[in-house]
Amino acid sequence: MTLVERKQRQARQRIVEVAEELFLASGFDNVSVSEIAERAEVGRTTFFRHFGDKQEVVFSKNQEQLATIAAAQDLVGIAPARSASEAIEQLRPIVLAVLALATVDPEGYIRHFQIIEQNSDLQGREAAKVQQMGDKLSQVLIHRGTDESTALFAAQVALACFQTAKALGNNPHTLVDDTKDAFVRVLTLGKAPTRTSHSHRPGDGADPLESDQQPAQ
C-alpha cells in the first residue's frame, strides 16, 4: 500500500476502535458522529469518507466478509451443482471461511453483538446483512451454472446452518465447529444408517433434500 492508503486504513481502524469503546461505555444511542470523530482525531469528512453513518461502523467487517464470498465466485473450474445437496456442499467451505474471518478476534466478535443488543435498528441491520450474505452465496452458485431455484434454496439452508450455530450460544470460539455440525446434520437428512448388508433398498442414492418418497403409513 502507498503511504496515503496506509494512513487511510489507520484512520478507519481508529474510528472503529474509538466507536466501539464509546458505544459500550455510553450506549449506542448516546454517542454522536462528532464525538467519535473528535476522539479518533479525525474530521467529520474523514468519518463519512469511510462510513455512511454510525451504524455502519458497527458492521465495519462486512465488506471484508462479502469479499470472501466474491473471491469464491471468481474461482474457475467448479461444475454446476446438480442437486440441492451438491449446492449446499459447495457453499459449506465459503460460509465457514466467512465465519472464521468474523471470529478471528473473539473478543471483538463479542463486543460486536453486545453493541447490537443495545439497539433494535442495529438488530434489523444485522438481519439485513446476513440476508445480503445469503444473496451473495446464491449468486456464487448461479455464476457456476446452478439453476436459480436450487441456488436460492441452498443459500437459505446455508444461512440456517449459521443461524443455528448462533442460536446455540453464538460462541466465537466454537461458532465454526457448531456451523460445521449443522451442515453435517442437514446433509445427512433422509439418509439411512450405514448397514453391513449390501441389499438394495428403494430410494438408495437419492438426494436426501429432494426425495419425494412418502413415509410408510
Residue-wise pLDDT for 147-164, tens only, equals 999 999 999 999 999 999
Say if residue 115 is in the same domain as residue 131.
yes
How many other β-carbons are positioned within 10 Å of the β-carbon of residue 93? 11
pLDDT given for residue 194 in this prediction = 53
Say if residue 106 is in the same domain as residue 38.
no
- Calculate the dihedral angle through the C-alpha atoms of 193, 179, 168, 207, rounding to the nearest 10 degrees: -40
Which grid cell is 98? 466467512
- Answer whether residue 3 shows pLDDT above 90: no
Range of weakest confidence among 3-7, 21-25, 158-162, 197-201? 197-201
pLDDT bin (cut points 50, 70, 90) of residue 217 is very low
Average pLDDT for 197-216: 49
204 within domain boundaries: no
- Answer whether residue 207 shows pLDDT above 80: no
198 within domain boundaries: no
Residue 162 structural domain: 61-187
Counting the structural domains of the chain, the total is: 2
How many other β-carbons are positioned within 10 Å of the β-carbon of residue 191? 12
CB 166 within 8 A of CB 175: yes
pTM value > 0.85: no
